[in-house]
Amino acid sequence: MSGNASPPRPPPARLRRTRFSFVWLIPMVAAIIAGYLGYRTVIEQGPLLTLTFRTAEGLAAGQTQMKYKAVALGTVESIDLSKDNSHVVVQVRLNSVGARFLTSHARFWVVRPRLDLNDLSGLDTLVSGAFIAVDPGAPGGTRQTVFTGLEQPPGVRSDEPGRTFVLTADNLGSLSTGSPVFYRDVIVGEVLGYDLGGGLGPIKVDIFVHAPYDNLVFPDTRFWNSSGIVAGIRGGVLQVQLQSLQAVLSGGVTFSVPVDGETGQPATNNSVFPLYASQDEAQSASYQTQIPLISYLTSSVSGLTPGAPVDLLGIQVGDVTGVSLQIDQNSDQVRARVAMRLQPERVFNQKTFPTTAQLQAVFQNLVNHGLRVELGTASYVTGQKLIELTMETEAAPAAVTQEGDALVLPSQAGGLDQTLQSVSDISNKLNQIPFKQIGDHLDQLLLTTDDTLESPQMKQSIADLAATLKSANATLATVNQTYGADSDFERNLQQVLDEANASLRSVRLLADYLHQHPQSLLLGRSGP
């Protein structure tokens, strides 16, 4: 039975399940987060911007940001030198927001602390560090990823309201980029830059006037260079013009609007205006009527320069535009040609002033009444000269001629020159007096007189005169004895005078009685 017994059957196998461990969740979650972040980085990562600057001062890879209105647009990814080592190449990784600034109108620059007279900005970067700023420019433009960065911040941002104007000048003076633009001593804009062009023509100065002050710029607006200090002597008084301390140190431009110029429309963007050297030149140019005059002087014109005033009775009516020397080879005459321009609007109403066709007749009438051009002295301290229009009642007849478009007025010596001429005339007349001959004649007269006094005839005459005087004295003594105070004649005369006084007294008493008693003439003194 044992041989036929079957072996025991093994127990059935059981499957053992492995329990899930939460430890595995940590790397799984980390992997998911990493994948998500990587996906976000790839999705949000913008294009690569390449900028070139002259220097990388203040920039650091992985730290320096690019910002627009304090919003981060990207971070500097790398900084390297160019192949020729002339500049640095900065690559900025932009985000999705910064990608919209990649247009051909955009401008980039590095914001650093700026401490100068024209600009005091970027002081916050002393703590936060430098950053790259961007100006998106006008809307539109083509896509661009490589730019040349600006070394200086632009004077005007694209989102700043206002207008740009162009000024033309012969000399720049102390103007520079960032110099202020003034209107009634208020800073309303700044100088954006200047262009010399080919170096032969005028200098072009670009300025920007902020809104709403840009509406004060009209086609008749006058701009002048208000840099530095303008000093001069006018009427014996020292006059100093100073726009502001900032204008003195960094230069400045000032503009004003003519009274009748505010009625038109404001000037358009990029309008061109002349830049005058001073306020006086700008004011002179604002007068619509300009009468050119010429006069020739034969005396020294030292101290007379263009811009000197032309006065009539002490009131300025114009200015000098040029002084030149002319030599007539035929007559060997040397004279100074003084060109002037009269602005009658300084004194007269433009509507009442004569027309151009009547000017020669008007000036000829004035010349007939004594109008002459004289050289006057504005200051004896500095030697500055001016032109004076005077009226001389005894002036010789003269004619008003024409030279081109200008009228030629007669001149005469005036001021100190006239005084010196008078002194010279007196000196010439004194030189013509024959003082030597007069002295010789006086010497001869004295000698003749001396000889006459020493002659025997003169001595005899003096002796006879002495004898005559002695006889006269004796005669006077006799008369005094006969008719003097103690003489009989004087006593008798006194007695006669006393009797005459008594008679006159009686007559006066009789007249008084008759005046009081007129009836006594008929009735006598015993009447009723």
Helix and strand numbers, DSSP H then E, in the chain:
10, 26
> What is the model's pLDDT at position 417?
57
Token digits of residue 448: 């003749």
Using DSSP bridges, classify how beta strands 203-210 and 162-169 pair: parallel, antiparallel or unpaired.
Answer: antiparallel
Distance of CA 364 to CAs 15, 399, 413, 442, Å?
A: 137, 7, 20, 55
**CA atoms within 13 A of residue 239's CA, in its CB half-sphere:** 10
Token digits of residue 194: 């200047």
Q: Is 161 exposed, middle or buried (0-12, 13-18, 19+ CB in 10 A)?
A: exposed
> What is the model's pLDDT at position 235?
46
> What is the model's pLDDT at position 528?
47
Longest Cα–Cα distance in the chain: 244
Of 296, 313, 289, the residue nearest 401 (C-alpha): 296
What are the DSSP calls for 307-364, one per residue?
T-EEEETTEEEEEEEEEEEEEETTTTEEEEEEEEEE-GGGTS-TTTSPPGGGHHHHHH
Of 256, 237, 129, 235, the residue nearest 184 (C-alpha): 256
> Which residues, given as ranges, of the chain have pLDDT below 70?
1-22, 41-45, 114-128, 199, 228-250, 259-263, 348-357, 414-425, 450-453, 476, 479-489, 507, 510, 514-515, 517-528
* b/e 498-525 (16+ beta carbons within 10 angstroms → b): eeeeeeeeeeeeeeeeeeeeeeeeeeee
> What is the model's pLDDT at position 421?
61
> What is the model's pLDDT at position 27?
81
Hey, is 493 helix, strand or coil? helix
